[in-house]
Structure 1
């Protein structure tokens, strides 16, 4: 039986959104939802946004997010998409993972990047996910089909 899958993503420039939409078309029983930072959190300039995110990480003060009210436990698998910022998932993902505390299903992450430090991303994602059941992290859509099967 196919797993009921939720695809959540944060996309600053649109690349992660495109990948999330592609994955959504490949998984028949899936829902797709965007995680967004509240208006005014980040800058239109990617370098300034990166600095803002690093300041948030340093201060352990993560941004508020906009997301539909979701009962995460209605899903067997939640795929979380993010760009890579200085080896970290985008900071709205930390806020999301904190909101998912108590989720009993499987979690996997996919990311988009122009030459990211994959190992750092994986380590930071797993650390931020704390007690969630993280089954894997894939760059682009390399492992998505495998997870779904």
Structure 2
């Protein structure tokens, strides 16, 4: 039986979206972009960090406005997002909250400025029922040559 794979990504700056598009080329999986209401985050990355830290402190994570398929119909979900202060971005946290009882494979991919911090441990802690495989993190400078690392990563667990 063929494995059903979905790519779900949130991108604040566009870097994670580029990585997700490259991953879609490599895997052939369906891709869904996570979105939040307009105005949820400012255009400035430092101001966005402040908003995200407030969301984390209050537990009031952003609403997702994307139309998502029935996520339980997928054996593997590749989840992409930016690293914010070494942690999973709050829109991706919202998604992982919806996947609290998901028992398939979750594979994190992410973009960072060269300091991923505790991203993968944070991600795994937010998906305790899932089989979380080691992730793949790239910087914006890595995106032009992302196909090979993405292929190697994908082949390691598919």
Shared fold (TM-score, shorter chain, > 0.5):
yes
Matches of 2:102 and 2:156 in 1, distance apart?
Answer: 18
Following superposition, the deviation at residue 105 of structure 1 comes to: 1.2
CA distance in 1, matches of 2:4, 2:129: 21
Note the residue ranges of structure 1 that are not aligned, 5 or more in a row: none
Counterpart in the other structure of 1:97 = 96
Secondary structure of 1:129's counterpart equals coil
The structure carrying a bigger strand percent of its residues is: 1
Match of 1:17 in 2: 17
Q: Deviations over 1:115-140 (max 9, x none)?
A: 1234x111111112232221222213
The Cα shift of 1:2 comes to 4.7
- Map residues 103-114 of structure 1 onto 2, 5 A cutoff: 103-114=102-113
Looking at structure 2, the residues matched to 8 and 43 of structure 1 have their Cα atoms a distance apart, in angstroms, of 22
CA contact (8 A) 2:133 2:157 kept: no
Q: Distance in 2 between the 1:73 and 1:83 partners?
A: 24
* C-alpha separation in 2, matches of 1:139 and 1:43: 24
Task: Judge conservation of contact 1:107–1:136 (CA < 8 Å) in 2.
Answer: no
2:41 equivalent in structure 1: 42
Unpaired runs of 5+ in structure 2? 139-145
1:109-124 correspondence to structure 2 within 5 Å: 109-118=108-117, 120-124=118-122
Q: CA RMSD in A?
A: 1.7
Structure 1 residues 127 and 148: CA distance shift in structure 2, 3 A: closer
